[in-house]
Amino acid sequence: MPKTTISPHTKPSEDMKETIKRNTKLLFDNFSAPFLADKASLPYSTVNTARFRNKLAPQMAHDFAKIKEVKAFGITREFLRPDIINWYVD
């Protein structure tokens, strides 16, 4: 699986952090942690921790956005992490 490289790394503003939290909450309100973990081939504990913290790493946002059901719902990696300016996939 190709690895996502994020450039440039950003430090989101407080408003951007709130947007990220709101979008992450929307994701986890509509898709369960076990479902996302299974479909993205990630450990359940990692996904559950992200759910409790209400934070997604850029790589996790990229992996979730590739899930067919998440795509159909209209959630993209840019929606989940709008603070990332450029996404590059190796």
27-50 pLDDT, tens per residue? 999 999 999 999 999 999 999 999
Six-digit token string for 9: 């790394």
d(CA 57, CA 51): 11
User: 3-state class of 1 per DSSP?
Assistant: coil
The model's pLDDT over 1-16, given as tens digits with 9 standing for 90+, comes to: 555 555 555 677 888 8
Q: Which structural domains are found in the chain, ordered by start?
A: 4-89 (1.10.260)
Contact 88, 8 (CB under 8 A): no
DSSP character at residue 10? -
What percentage of the chain has pLDDT greater than the value 70?
A: 84
